Structure 1
Amino acid sequence: MSTETTRRRGKVGYLLLAPALLWLVLFFVIPFYSLLATSLYDPSGSDFRGYEMTYAWGNYVDAIQAYWQPALRSLWYAGLATAFCLVLGYVLAYAIAFKAGKWKNLMLVLVIAPFFTSFLLRTLAWKLILSDDGWIVNTLQALHILGADGRLLATPVAVVAGLTYNFLPFMVLPLFASIDKIDHRLIEASGDLYAHPAVGFFKVTWPLSLPGVVSGTLLTFIPAVGDYINAELLGSTNTRMIGAVIQSQYTDANNYPIASSLSVMLMALILLLVLVYIRRAGTEDLL
């Protein structure tokens, strides 16, 4: 192969990458630079006076001091929702992959069916389901699990339940894709090698499904941390998440430097957690 042919192929490769690179520059690099620059504006500015670039790094300190509680709450709620999604999603994905038979495609359609409805409408439906006069609260009160004045709405339980429901498909689909590729003969062999089915599951099925577990947890945890719809509709001021704080700082308070600072710190924190999680999981080569 001549040097000229190699150069031409290299140029063709760059040309093929150009649309994707242009897309990233226009819709990621430039917006992120704008967000980072806004986070360093003079906090004393306003829509009327305008904002000056003063490299006010103190905006980050002020944002942490004022809103560290919603940030930690968001991590906690998202972590709980991800754990519940993993347990429920793994069982569902396993059942679809190995037990559904001819109903496999139908069950997959049912998993993604909620996406045909607005995220907002689905959350509002949960607000009705968990309402004080709803059948769930009435049943729990009849069983004396909740007191006569007990409620689910406007509590952390409602917020985590909403997050779990809304993001469950993001967990099920990658888990199904991973579990469905497992060779059944390996599972049968595990039954011969290990005395108990549970031991065989954790020795064979679980390790082989780790790519789906890692992908599913990331796809669930990342959007759940920044979500504000569930906390806004199903929670109260005591269950406010960082996404709601950022939204209110942008739209209500018009405090763009603080809102941008919170957004940048949230992105950095999520990126750090993802890197640590992938390294600890030992799945860098599985993704």
Structure 2
Amino acid sequence: MEGPKSDLYSSIDDSSEELLWLTSFKTNAYSDSETTIISNDFVCHTNFEYRDAEHYNRWDFTDRINQNYPRITSISNGVESFKLPKGYGFPVYSNERLVFNAQALNHNITDSTFKIKHKVEIEFIRHRDKQLKPLQPKTIYIMLPFDINNPFAGPSNDIPNACIPVETKLHTYFDENNNPLSGHWVVPQGKHNYSFDASKQLNIKDSIRIHQITPHLHPFAEKFSLINKTTKEIIYECKSENFTEKIGLKNAPTFESESGIWLYKDHNYELYLEVNNTTNKDQEMMASMAILFYDLEMHNKIKKHVDIN
């Protein structure tokens, strides 16, 4: 999370206003000349986001504005591509502005300077060619408590589960009782596990049906799970693979399902993370899931305002 980063605001086709379905994203690291693919060890993350005011005003969904962080998904170390299950997509207009946030990474090479670029590929289907079912994105993530008055002290008698935050600005949040929580924390040497009740982040009104999950993890994460605490069911378990000869995630499997998995309002859900810091120094950790679930309201809106025209 310390590498150089940049933001790009762009649309797929400014010359038209056509409904499209985004179905997949891919990121590769390239040399500055844009001619040579280099290792994706240099990809910290590429975030794919929409501008929620612009996006939802087009559909007269003004009540959705500022309700969730407007991220579709995030491709990161260990996750090079993202694909929605067959028959599903995220609806955008061709002239709608999207946001691409890319950050570089270098864990292993200390004696060289690099100039790199991230090449982003987006796959989409035109609505006039095929009508898909819309998905709505939401990001859930582990947050851990810390002492706001002495943030880097770690666990204490008052806060036995406290973490040491990496920093106290960009990734600090507050719960309903105004207690500080960090989404970016320090992992000591050895094996550790962390858990967080994600029920309030999910904020399920009735029920939702999840069709895609993409994890965002840092190196040394080994297992990341979304658990239904009410039924004891593991909804999704990402068993990530770390490189053994260098620092980095080799693979962090995503989840895709045409039939989907149901989550319910009256159930409790937990994020659970296992980490093994095999180095001789502290490391940094984040753990989030970008989930996409079926959006019935959007489906009905598209049928009413697009398909009849």
TM-score range, shorter chain: under 0.3
TM-score with structure 2 setting the length: 0.22
Larger Rg: 1 or 2?
A: 1
Higher helix share: 1
TM-score (norm: length of structure 1) = 0.23
The structure showing larger relative contact order (alpha-carbon pairs under 8 Å, at least 6 residues apart) is 1
Say which structure is richer in strand.
2
